[in-house]
Amino acid sequence: MPEPAEGPTTAPPDSAEAAPTETVLSPRHRALTIGLTLSVTVVAFLWLGVTTVLPKVASELDGLSLFGWAFTGFMLANMVGTVLAGRLADRTGAVRPYLIAFAVFTAGCAAAAVAPNWPVLLAARAAQGFGVGGVLTLVYLSVGRAYPERLRAKMLALVASCWTLPALIGPVLLGRLADSTDWRIVFAVFIPAVPIAAVLTLPGLRGLGPSGAGADGADGADGADGADGADGADGGPSGGGRLWATLALAIGVGALMAGLDAREPLYLVPLVLVGLAITIPVLRRLLPPGTLRLRRGLPSAVAVRGLVSVAYYGSEAFFPLTMTTVYGLSSTQAGLALAVGAITWVGGAWLQARFDERGGDRGRRMRVMAGFVLLVAGLGLLVATVAVHPALPVALAAVGWGVGGLGMGLVYPSVTTLALGQAKAGEEGAASAGLQLSETLSVALMTGLSGAVLAFGVSAGWEEATSFAAVFGIAVLASLAGIGTGARTLAAKAG
């Protein structure tokens, strides 16, 4: 599940110690705890549940040719919102960026609910992504600053659990709502929850002022007074430098995806070249050194996080569209099929936790590789089923998706733990930032590329099933690459 861009660890002086009997629901924390968990739950339902509704939206608004941008724009804006909210929180405190993030999120939901055409819907999705990135950043920052150290792990576990229910029932619930009423209602239902979350959260945020010099903020290890653009401990930019680098990255990836969508050489070639010229150098600055070269240890672990995101999240964006387009399922039925992967993901994560309890670090790298093998098997079955869909039942596609979900459940927590465990002392936040950037960017690239593949298939006269099989085939290739990269997720021992 999505993680903070960088985990803040500095608590205010008056919360340095917690009474032995104090909990996250004790009187002084209760309202903030409920507000933060409600904030996460709201954005999680939109992030995970709207996927099953978007095929119907795209069909009605004539947006199938640019379907991938509903996810690419969301993820790029999410990336910018994450960094900007953290930077603003370091300068002004948590209240202002929290209000801005939720205001933009609400505006995005309202705009989507009344969108007259697909371009307006895409702009609304970008606003939602920006708001989600900002809200989640402020949630994790608040955990680090408002709760004493003894309670932070419990609060982080509670926040993480807020993603489980939306993942399991969100696609089905929102799909059913779209089928029984109107898809516009799906976006409108999020709006009333925002003021409730804000009323509960804001009193606790008011005590979280700007970070001092050296305090850990949500967007970097530097405080508000840190030097903009100075290199951080990980060799990458920090503070204002990270913000500008992230904006440049969003522009570069956007140009790259626009070029692939253009398909006309007159536009395709210059846009792709400009996109690559911007994206690759910025990535070298933002990701841990050696990530693009798959250096052993932390860099390869960060790369694995991107590859598994390409394979699973990238497929997830197009799985409901496949179910409704190729198999003619309703949004509710597509949501049920999508939920199969969520259930098996939870099962895989539970297995990984059990293995960790028994053996700790031992075998974690092998579980990463085994998870990718399951992804290859599951997504491969999905490719075969979709490619010859008249001959094979849709249930096989759901089975393949479930096998892939099991693999994701093994890979995701394993590689995250491997990466953070190899980060140098004091650089855990930078490692977390690298993991999240790798994930967000990979999903943006995969959804953009998949949309371009579908558009190319239409222009080339392919059958719809062939185009979707090609999309899932890209995910299979990413999973195959993940097996080899997973073997490099532990640094070589000296001597």
Do 346 and 168 meet the contact criterion of CB atoms below 8 Å apart? yes
Quote the pLDDT of residue 374: 97
What residues contact residue 333 under an 8 Å CB cut-off, 6+ apart? 175, 323
Which one-letter DSSP state was computed for residue 494? P
Compute the mean pLDDT over every residue in the chain, rounded to the nearest whole number: 85
In this predicted model, which residue has the larger pLDDT, 277 or 20? 277
Do 432 and 7 meet the contact criterion of CB atoms below 8 Å apart? yes
- The Cα–Cα gap between 481 and 400 comes to 19
Please report, rounded to a whole number, the percentage of residues in the chain having pLDDT higher than 70.
87
In this predicted model, which residue has the larger pLDDT, 284 or 151? 284
Quote the pLDDT of residue 359: 66
pLDDT at residue 103 is higher than 90? yes
Closest CA to 398 of 416, 412, 379, 373: 379
pLDDT at residue 82 is higher than 80? yes
pLDDT at residue 234 is higher than 50? no
In this predicted model, which residue has the larger pLDDT, 232 or 61? 61
Quote the pLDDT of residue 20: 60
Per-residue burial over 411-444, b if 16 or more Cβ lie within 10 Å, else e, is bbbbbbbbbbebbeeebbbbbbbbbbbbbbbbbb
Span 122-133, average pLDDT: 95
Do 302 and 430 meet the contact criterion of CB atoms below 8 Å apart? no
Q: Give the least confident one: 49-53, 184-188, 218-222, 467-471.
A: 218-222
In Å, how far from its chain's centre is CA 42? 15
Closest CA to 447 of 326, 350, 312: 312
40-59 pLDDT per residue, tens: 999 889 988 899 999 999 99
The CB density around residue 150, as the number of other CB atoms within 10 Å, is 14
The length of the chain in residues reads: 495
Closest CA to 126 of 188, 76, 195: 76
Domain boundaries, the chain: 25-209, 236-288, 293-495
What residues contact residue 206 under an 8 Å CB cut-off, 6+ apart? 93, 95
200-213 pLDDT per residue, tens: 888 888 776 665 43
Span 304-330, average pLDDT: 94
318-353 pLDDT per residue, tens: 999 999 999 999 999 999 999 999 999 989 988 888
In this predicted model, which residue has the larger pLDDT, 4 or 161? 161
Quote the pLDDT of residue 304: 95
Quote the pLDDT of residue 211: 58
pLDDT at residue 6 is higher than 60? no
Q: Fold match between 25-209 and 293-495?
A: yes
Residue 97 belongs to what H/E stretch?
helix 95-113
Instruction: Give the type of residue at 317.
Output: A
Strand, coil or helix: 154? helix
Quote the pLDDT of residue 223: 35
Span 392-401, average pLDDT: 94
How would you classify residue 155: left for phi > 0, otherwise alpha for psi between -120 and 50, otherwise beta?
Answer: alpha
413-463 pLDDT per residue, tens: 888 888 888 888 767 777 888 888 999 999 999 999 999 999 889 888 899
Per-residue pLDDT band for 221 (boundaries 50, 70, 90) equals very low
Per-residue pLDDT band for 401 (boundaries 50, 70, 90) equals very high
Quote the pLDDT of residue 361: 63
- The Cα–Cα gap between 271 and 183 comes to 34
pLDDT at residue 233 is higher than 50? no
What residues contact residue 343 under an 8 Å CB cut-off, 6+ apart? 168, 402, 405
In this predicted model, which residue has the larger pLDDT, 376 or 87? 376
Q: Does domain 25-209 have CATH number 1.20.1250.20?
A: yes
- The Cα–Cα gap between 115 and 187 comes to 11
Per-residue burial over 316-340, b if 16 or more Cβ lie within 10 Å, else e, is bbbbbbbbbbbbebbbbbbbbbbbb
Quote the pLDDT of residue 426: 67
What residues contact residue 225 under an 8 Å CB cut-off, 6+ apart? 212, 213
Quote the pLDDT of residue 230: 35
In this predicted model, which residue has the larger pLDDT, 477 or 225? 477
Residue 257 belongs to what H/E stretch?
helix 240-262
Q: Which numeric CATH code is attached to 293-495?
A: 1.20.1250.20
In this predicted model, which residue has the larger pLDDT, 380 or 84? 380
Do 57 and 183 meet the contact criterion of CB atoms below 8 Å apart? yes
pLDDT at residue 406 is higher than 80? yes
7-37 pLDDT per residue, tens: 444 444 444 455 566 777 778 788 888 888 8
- The Cα–Cα gap between 204 and 146 comes to 7
